[in-house]
Structure 1
């Protein structure tokens, strides 16, 4: 974890801030390995302070390395006392805080300039280290296996979308996950045309498509995958739509690599769907970063910023025909200097159960 702290300190030197106050618990875990519900981190050029209350002091002492650990129920007041004589003018802070917290911050640090550091640590989190990559790879393996297992569970005319959701959640926990990484999208038949159709009590029927967008937490990191299957017979149109989405997904995997712009990352798979005449039915972005959160930067579309080696991104094209059905295929990919590594390995050929 100290390598991440040093990366933050190096980045801090490139800003106008003399110190940074970290309150986002995901960012704190990233820097320290601490996963409790109460913690504050303060880092300046001569201090690394980790503050928590008495519930977590012993845990912090066993986990957090390279920081002075302070037990307190009032972290901001404690920091103000500790740094009173330090040569600090500007303090940056996580921008996702409550208004009440911000007012307290302004009151206690009235002698300092306060600067909201939008996505400062989140930008550092975009590039995963080897430990993070290994953890995400394991999360993807768990999701892959759960997908194979749910195919045996689904019984047309009997199984509901909610039952599929609960099966996937329970199976991934059995395989080592700590929980679901988001509210699963389990949508069958006409509901599969809803890109974010969360699971309902609808019974899955023969002749329907079934889209399953799900993932898990493993050691704090997420997986995020989507597979669309068919239940019973498949029409020629359904086969065609599935093939277009699969080709779109594969087109990006074939060319994705470090240096590609975010807008190109979106355009490559979108062109496949546009050229097939279904562009108006692909209504969302191609993907996003994943890591400690299910949705992380970068996001794709209009940005000319390049993607970089070490990013873990989703590739999730879809076509949604309102009132009929929808198809989405989503993979997690690791960007490398020469291409990308596919992390979600569950089968993507058209599956009919």
Structure 2
């Protein structure tokens, strides 16, 4: 009589395949993310560490050639915080950022609302125009912008002269007037920011159920009441995130200001980014410039923390 010993069948996962070891499953995401993580460390973390280190030294133009420098502790930060030009540049940055964010968000909201009322052909045309404006490099657009405002042959000066609203503006040099220079920079940055804001808000607005609008119109609500009571309520999370992102982007604006006015006239458009560049690469006080950059980074980290916090909250509300 033969006896057979029955062996228990091996544990299998789904579809009869043996389950993968848990440890291997946990290592797989880390292995896949390692290349991107190394790149982020190389281009972000290491430069920040170097920047912080330089901010505690007297690194200057001589140090670039000799490699010699000395540690000065918090002296660079003390100089920065006691420099009235730093506080003036910070104030200009806050005012510039507020003006640019308000302008770009308001105009972007208007364009998004307009797109919802256009027919498909015209809406496609507006979308293509917005994408083309958004895709244009800011250096190239800044150079073209200076041509538009050039005295003597600038197209905008010629157009304003033809309209006869402000008199003869043919020879007006916008870059040499504090108010006009700030206005031209504001218009350029808002023009570059509106496409992203408008397209994002339009994508969010078309997700609002149409039944809400139909019920409000049946109740006799005006279009402004409908927009304020329905559209803005649904767009609130998107508007909040766009506003925070715009603050972070506009706080860092440098190329447009430097290419148009170089911070002038009389430092009227010298924001924190321009002041940092002038300190580090015009005055060759690299230690002082690094200290200002660290301060700017801390401010932006605070804004980024607010952005991430609201991003998490908006995800929880969905």
TM-score of the pair, normalised by structure 1 = 0.20
Q: Which has the higher strand share?
A: 1
Greater RCO between the two (CA within 8 Å, min separation 6)?
Answer: 2
TM-score of the pair, normalised by structure 2 = 0.22
Is the radius of gyration larger for structure 1 or structure 2? 2
